[in-house]
Structure 1
Amino acid sequence: MRTVLITGANKGIGFETARQLALAGNFVYLGSRDLLSGQKAADKLKAAGSANVAPIHIDVTDIESIRKAKDELNSLDLLINNAGISGEQAQHIAEYSMEAFRALFETNYFGAVQTTQVMLPLLRKSSAASIINVSSEIGSLTMQTSAERPPNWSNFSSYGATKTALNGFTVMLANELRGEHITVNSVTPGYTATDLNQFKGFKSVEEGARAIVQLAMLDDRTVTGRFFKDGGEIPW
């Protein structure tokens, strides 16, 4: 049984990913900024038949919170950096406030980076560790420069920039860790209906979590430094 930590797992895609991975036989820690919310989420999963789950308090913007969470874990095989915020729209980079911009990066980028750094000692003890960074197709530079780029993406430009940075982190870290047999990949759930977008997404949380779960369950240890969506790869 693998041990999994999912940040931002008390609701939305994180919660559904936890549900699916627990049903697949993994022990899943549901990371949450608010422990009560995490406990309620874990209780809900247990009531539905998933006994192998537990809440854990972790605020990815608070380094001490991350360190305390790490101390609570005896082992870790899979880290899913899912916690994120969307920010207020419209958020055109040319005029978005720096305070709001920094808040986005603090959670979506620096939060994932420092959580990974703190958890790496535990991951290094695993015989087959993986890191999955939950990104977005809006962070794909190839898609941003495509003629088929949706025009409304400009409403999410600042959010997209944080995901572009996260994708860069994925590639750089994957290269650094190749010799340690720790895989690092990005994955986009697609435009999923969650409170991140006021439930305007066209995909259900079950559909959104599918790509994350598929990557989490992948046995091929040569797959690293890549960007996935449901059904295949997506260009950087």
Structure 2
Amino acid sequence: MSELNERTIALVTGANKGIGYQIAAGLGALGWSVGVGARDAGRRETAVERLRAAGVDAFGVPLDVTDDASATAAAQLIEERSGRLDVLVNNAAIVGAMPQEPTRVDPATIRAVVETNVIGVIRVTNAMLPLLRRSTAARIVNMSSTVGSLTRQSAPDRELNAGPVAAGYSPSKTFLNAVTLQYTRELTGTDILINAACPGYVATDLNGFRGTRTPEQGAAIAIKLATLPTDGPTGHFFDDAGEVPW
């Protein structure tokens, strides 16, 4: 077996910047081989170069999560490179155009957000599952948000922790959480653990860099779930403080 195949192989979508980049950096620091999934070729290769300069075994994966052919090609690239995939972090996401109050939102905005944040996760996960099934300890991490928690959205103090009114972004994360649970049910009895993660309110371009946490802090929960032991949890929703109610 080659040195490459002995290493843990991971793919992080939306990894050219922000939280995704820091997830790739954190997994790479463990000695893993990390695929930098991104649709923009220039930004993708810049990220790969930065990671390699830091000592990470990084490789670029052209990937548009909204495109079937792109997801299939990405899986083929990983197949040819390593023959399997151990960890998939579905990080790519968009907020969508404003306004998003339900009485004002353009339905096209909701379609676009769901296409990336939910259908994109399904598309990529299904493309990668044959490779994940070849791993003896596969992990899938879906980057969600506590604004997708129906429990928190409906709580009396929801204004403190449910985010702004957003009929596109917040429900897309609720939808993603529900899909995560359905994957958990289907994959019960396999070696694949799948969980949802909230990075917290991180300063990224998605929120105009208004967040109060750094991308490194936001990446920590994904790295933790990507490195769960064999008897670790599956079908749960976590942030740094612990389990988040669905």
TM-score in terms of structure 2 length: 0.92
Runs of 5+ in structure 2 lacking a partner? 1-6
Say whether the 8 Å CA contact 2:118–2:172 is kept in structure 1: yes
State which of 160, 184, 201 in structure 2 corresponds to 1:191: 201
Give distance in 1, aligned partners of 2:89 and 2:166.
Answer: 23
Shift of 1:4: 0.3
Cα displacement string for residues 64-114 of structure 1 (whole angstroms, at most 9, x for unaligned residues): 000001001121011110000011333112321111110000000000011
Shift of 1:222: 4.1
List aligned pairs for 1:134-153, cutoff 5 A: 134-150=143-159, 153=163
Question: Match of 1:230?
Answer: 240
State which of 129, 141, 166 in structure 1 corresponds to 2:138: 129
Question: Match of 2:75?
Answer: 70
Q: Which runs of 4+ in 1 moved over 3 A?
A: none
Give distance in 1, aligned partners of 2:98 and 2:163.
Answer: 11
Say whether the 8 Å CA contact 2:98–2:105 is kept in structure 1: no
Give distance in 1, aligned partners of 2:240 and 2:21.
Answer: 18
1:36 is paired with a residue of what secondary structure? helix
Matched, 1:55 2:74: no
Shift of 1:127: 0.8
Question: Could you tell me which amino acid in structure 1 is paired with residue 244 of structure 2?
Answer: I
Matched, 1:93 2:86: no
Cα displacement string for residues 125-177 of structure 1 (whole angstroms, at most 9, x for unaligned residues): 11111111000000000110111212682343320100000000111101110
Question: Could you tell me which amino acid in structure 1 is paired with residue 241 of structure 2?
Answer: G
Runs of 5+ in structure 1 lacking a partner? none
Matched, 1:163 2:168: no
2:212 is paired with a residue of what secondary structure? coil
TM-score in terms of structure 1 length: 0.96
The percent identity for this pair of structures is 42
Give distance in 2, aligned partners of 1:80 and 1:101.
Answer: 23
Tell me the matched-pair count.
235
List aligned pairs for 1:107-118, cutoff 5 A: 107-118=116-127
Give distance in 2, aligned partners of 1:54 and 1:181.
Answer: 25
